[in-house]
Structure 1
Amino acid sequence: MAKTLVHITTFEQWKSVLDVWFKQGYKWRSGEQEYAESRFERGGKFLYLGDYIAYGTANYDSEHFIEYSEFMAQQKENNKMAMVYEVSQSVFDKLQMIKAHEGTSLIGAISAHAPFIKFIEVGNKAILRYLADDPAIEFKVKEQLYRLWRIDDDGDAVYMHFIYGTPDWTMNKYVAFTASLEEIKKWNNPAWSLEKVD
């Protein structure tokens, strides 16, 4: 991973940079996600991001660094990228129909389909922004997953899953092995039937 080196001058800048990295899942070498004000007070003027977060009082290796303002400008630019939400084909098709709002206004189409919009687990704000053509919000169709099932000797439906890498069966379809059609076909045989995962 390429190292990022940010020069900061105030504790507020220190906290802002750490907030960005904590949100991305990075931690100090100790595994903590804390502001560590004492490190800043000991002269920490450079924050490093490699495999983990580190700090330094000077740029001893004369590495290329960026100023805090440049770092924040990069973050702002990165946040302009579209948020992408994955939904099922049926939800995607219905959203496209609402967005087209043929024969009515967009507000009318949204009102008419309000219960459906509330049902989608993405969040109402994101959906409304998408319907209003906000370029920062995108919806795409989630890849269809499949599982293998069969009827056992007792007449019960059982599903294929793995135990320590070995194929086995379970009666709980929610813990069954699921994969794309291409991958699931590698495991299919005449004993199993294909089923779409909802």
Structure 2
Amino acid sequence: MTETVVHVTTLEQWKSVLDVWFKQGYKWADGDKEYSAIIFETGGRFLFLDDYITCSTFNPYPKPYIEYSEFMSQQKEDNKMETYYVTQEQLDLIEELKGKLFPLHALLTRSDRYKNIKVELSGQEEKALLRYLGGDTSIKFKVKEQLYRLSRIDDDGNKVYMKLKYGTPDWTMDKDAAFTAPLEEIKKWQTPAWDIEKAD
């Protein structure tokens, strides 16, 4: 079931909806993060977001669509709250720290217990963590969903990854261009030739 259906009427609206979704980490079904303006120019006016982005010239789903202006006003509301995605272990440690009387002291002492919080946090996320521990209520941390991809060894001994090209399975040597999805979706695409592995 499609989560979001947005109706756009101009190429600028098309691009700005895609900008929002690309920034959130979503891609087209084939793994691209391109505007694909040709699709809009050939009549695509409905953008769909589920596990990946798709589009259509009409709304084939029973779910009602929203107009571009409503979509953008929702984004403004959502942007009031900063959300950062971390692992479940990191979230547990962050919440444990939040409950301490002096959370910054516990974080800054030489304890290996909280070392994992700092792993993979960018400079912006580290600043957000400090603001969150200091009481900033406009920040929240959520668990990022684990994504998976399919890989196999080709006839030359090279590792290749499955990607979707216009909805048809294909392969690539670039793991960043591989089709990634939650485990349930990846299992639908698995055959005996492909192995499931965690995406970075």
TM-score (norm 2): 0.50
CA deviations 1:65-99 (Å, max 9, x no partner) are: xxxxxxxxxxxxx5895322222334324433543
**Which residue among 107, 110, 115 is the counterpart of 2:107?**
110
In structure 1, what is the equivalent of residue 91 of structure 2? 92
Q: Distance in 2 between matches of 1:174 and 1:80?
A: 27
In structure 2, what is the equivalent of residue 155 of structure 1? 157
Q: Distance in 2 between matches of 1:188 and 1:160?
A: 10
Pair 1:111–1:197, CA change in 2 (3 A): same
CA deviations 1:105-144 (Å, max 9, x no partner) are: 3232232368964851243332112223433211010111
The 8 Å contact of residues 90 and 116 in structure 2, kept in 1 or not, is answered as no
In structure 2, what is the equivalent of residue 187 of structure 1? 189
Q: By how many angstroms is 1:155 displaced?
A: 2.1
Q: By how many angstroms is 1:188 displaced?
A: 0.8
Q: By how many angstroms is 1:173 displaced?
A: 0.7
**What amino acid is the match of 2:139?**
I
TM-score (norm 1): 0.51
Structure 1, unmatched stretches of 5+, are 2-21, 26-49, 53-77
The 8 Å contact of residues 147 and 184 in structure 1, kept in 2 or not, is answered as yes
**What amino acid is the match of 1:120?**
L
**What amino acid is the match of 1:82?**
M
**Which residue among 177, 180, 185 is the counterpart of 2:179?**
177
Q: Percent identity?
A: 47
CA deviations 1:30-61 (Å, max 9, x no partner) are: xxxxxxxxxxxxxxxxxxxx857xxxxxxxxx
Pair 1:180–1:115, CA change in 2 (3 A): closer
Pair 1:80–1:163, CA change in 2 (3 A): closer
Aligned positions, number: 126
Task: Describe the SS at the equivalent of 1:123.
Answer: helix
- Please provide the CA RMSD for this pair: 3.5
Pair 1:152–1:80, CA change in 2 (3 A): closer
Q: By how many angstroms is 1:183 displaced?
A: 1.2
